[in-house]
Amino acid sequence: MENNLSLYQRSKDFLWTDKHIAKQMLKLHLDTTNDAASRNEKTINSTINWINGTIPEKSLILDLGCGPGLYSEKLALNKHIVTGIDISKNSIKYAKKSASKNNLKIQYHHQSYLQELSCGIFDIAMCIYCDFGALTNDEQVLFLTNVSNNLCDNGILIFDVFSNNLSNTKKEEKKWDYCNSSGFFSKKPHYILYECKYFNDANAWGTRNVILEKNKIKEFITWDTMYTKESITQVLNENGFKVEEVKTDLVHKNEFTSDDVFFIKARKT
């Protein structure tokens, strides 16, 4: 384990596949009174209404990082034909059961959207909750390549990113804490060593949590890259997409992360 957090460093442990944390993430996803893993219900509905108003009826939609299907189900109820992909087994298992319970014909696949996709060609690809900014530069190129390969000619990509105002809610710090019972990171008593660091050249925040149990150490690193409209437009232009619309008023005020988020609608060129 590196002593100093470096730009876009990855940890061997991963939040979405850790058995204990994945269960906690699913609980947070399903609690739409807050924004801890999915956004609150008001914001989800605003987002769905905007998507429905900007894409054709009965579109073939690929929901990347679909989680437990909160957006997929609402889109399916609006007569779109939806396929969801997520790296979390727990989320996909829940999504399948929920779709069956609600008599919705949604296809779900347990897979990373950074792997080659083979589930069809779509009119729309979407990725919600600022996933794009959590990727390294190389991963972003891979993501956009995968999306392009699975979109029809002139297909649309819809996703969201943090603006620079995310820095108003973050600060550089290192600290530690002790949890004497089951918590988000572990079901056993554990220490948490926390680090948050800003990287000016990349306009990115890195967060590292090192979890110390009695006989075990785990490390979880996440990234939040911030963008201006100009900088995200440049990234998309360099990877075969043209921005058609930027929406800045969909995320309602929340206390978990910055509400300064903008949504991008870009077309494959």
User: What is the residue-averaged pLDDT of the chain?
Assistant: 94
Which residues constitute the domain of residue 144? Answer: 33-163+226-268
- Does residue 257 form part of some domain? yes
- Does residue 53 form part of some domain? yes
- Does residue 9 form part of some domain? no
Could you tell me what percent of the chain has a pLDDT over 70? 98
Q: What is the rounded CA–CA span in Å between residue 225 and residue 148?
A: 22
- Does residue 213 form part of some domain? no
Residue given tokens 């396929």 in the structure block: 83
Look at residues 74, 129, 67, 136 and name the one whose alpha carbon lies nearest to residue 254.
129
Note whether 17 and 211 are within 8 A (CB): no
Note whether 192 and 179 are within 8 A (CB): yes
Task: Identify the CATH number of the domain in which residue 260 sits.
Answer: 3.40.50.150
> pLDDT digits over 146-197, tens only?
999 999 999 999 999 999 999 998 999 999 999 998 899 999 999 999 999 9
Q: Residue 166 gets which letter from DSSP?
A: G
Residue type, 126: M
Higher-confidence position of 143 and 254: 143
pLDDT score, position 115: 94
- Does residue 182 form part of some domain? no
pTM more than 0.85? yes
- Does residue 157 form part of some domain? yes
Question: Residue 256 — very low, low, confident or very high, per pLDDT cuts 50/70/90?
Answer: low
pLDDT score, position 76: 98
- Does residue 179 form part of some domain? no
- Does residue 206 form part of some domain? no
Residue type, 208: R
Which helix (H) or strand (E) segment holds residue 163: the answer is none
Q: What is the rounded CA–CA span in Å between residue 163 and residue 206?
A: 15
Number of domains comprising the chain: 1
> pLDDT digits over 42-61, tens only?
999 999 999 999 999 999 99
